[in-house]
C-alpha cells in the first residue's frame, strides 16, 4: 500500500503546559512510500465464533498521543488502554452502539481492558482533557483483517478460497476503497495498491 501524493506537513499542537507536539495525518515511509495505519478487511467473509482466549491489544497514552492510533481486533479480543504519561488522561469511546460507549480516566496504576462488540464503522477513541488525541478501534467478527505496517504492507492469512470484497480504510482521513479479489486454494494473491490522494 503506497501513497504517491503530496504528504501534508505535520500539524503543530501547543499543549496547555507549553509542550509542542507534531501530529502526522499520513504516516508514509520515505523510501518505500508505504502508507501506515490502513485497515484491510474482507467485508463479506463469514462470521466466526467469538474468541475466548486471545492476548489483549495495547493502546498506550504516551507523549500526549494514543500509540498506536489504529488497531484492529477480532471479536472477543480485548483492547488494553494504558497511560505512560506523567499527566492525567481519559479514554472516551464514541460509537452508535451503546455497548461500545464509555468514558473513564486511565492512570499508570489503573489500566483498563475492554472487549468491544463488532461494528462496521471504527470506534473512535478520544481524551476529554486533550482534544487532539484520537485513535480508532476496528472490531471484526472474523480473523481476515490487518493493519498496514511501517512499509505499507499487510497480510491476510488462511483466507478460504473464493471471491471476496476487500475494504481498505484509512480512519484518520476517512479515505476508503474496495477491491474484488479472488483467492485460490494453495495460491498466494498479491495486490499492489497505490493512492495518490486521500479524497474519496
- Here the cell at position 144 is 481476515
Structural domain 1-45+144-200, CATH architecture: Sandwich (2.60)
In which residue are the cell numbers 470484497 written?
A: 165
| Torsions phi, psi for 98 (to 5 deg) | -60, -25
User: What confidence tier does 108 reach under pLDDT thresholds 50, 70, 90?
Assistant: confident
User: What confidence tier does 14 reach under pLDDT thresholds 50, 70, 90?
Assistant: confident
As to burial, measured by CB atoms within 10 angstroms (0-12 exposed, 13-18 middle, 19+ buried), residue 163 is: exposed
Least confident of 22-26, 33-37, 148-152: 22-26
Q: What is the pLDDT of residues 61-107, one digit of tens each?
A: 999 999 999 999 999 999 999 999 988 899 999 999 999 999 999 98
| Torsions phi, psi for 99 (to 5 deg) | -70, -15
pTM of the model: 0.94
Domain ranges of the chain: 1-45+144-200, 47-143
Q: What sign results for the dihedral spanned by CA atoms 147, 68, 27, 94? A: positive
The predicted model gives 159-182 an average pLDDT of 96
Closest by Cα among 46, 40, 35 to 176: 40
Rounded Cα distance between 84 and 95, Å, is 25
The predicted model gives 139-161 an average pLDDT of 97
| CATH fourth-level superfamily of 47-143 | Cupredoxins -  blue copper proteins (2.60.40.420)
Tally helices (H) and strands (E) across the chain: 0, 17
Amino acid at each position: 500500500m503506497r501513497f504517491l501524493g503530496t504528504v501534508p506537513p505535520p500539524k503543530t499542537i501547543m499543549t496547555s503546559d507549553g509542550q509542542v507536539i507534531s501530529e502526522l495525518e499520513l504516516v508514509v515511509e520515505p523510501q518505500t512510500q508505504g502508507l501506515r495505519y490502513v485497515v484491510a478487511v474482507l467485508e463479506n467473509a463469514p462470521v466466526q465464533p467469538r474468541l475466548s482466549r486471545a492476548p489483549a491489544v495495547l493502546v498506550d497514552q504516551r507523549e500526549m498521543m494514543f500509540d498506536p492510533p489504529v488497531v484492529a481486533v477480532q471479536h472477543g479480543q480485548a483492547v488494553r488502554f494504558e497511560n505512560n504519561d506523567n499527566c492525567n488522561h481519559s479514554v472516551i469511546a464514541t460509537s452508535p452502539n451503546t455497548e461500545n460507549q464509555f468514558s473513564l480516566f486511565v492512570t499508570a496504576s489503573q489500566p483498563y481492558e475492554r472487549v468491544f462488540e463488532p461494528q462496521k464503522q471504527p470506534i473512535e477513541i478520544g481524551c476529554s482533557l486533550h482534544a487532539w488525541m484520537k485513535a480508532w478501534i476496528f472490531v471484526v467478527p472474523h480473523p481476515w483483517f490487518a493493519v498496514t505496517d511501517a512499509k505499507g504492507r499487510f497480510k491476510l492469512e488462511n483466507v478460504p478460497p473464493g471471491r471476496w470484497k476487500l475494504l481498505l480504510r484509512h480512519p484518520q482521513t476517512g479515505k476508503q476503497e474496495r477491491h474484488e479479489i479472488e483467492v485460490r486454494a494453495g495460491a498466494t494473491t498479491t495486490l499492489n495498491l497505490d493512492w495518490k490522494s486521500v479524497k474519496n
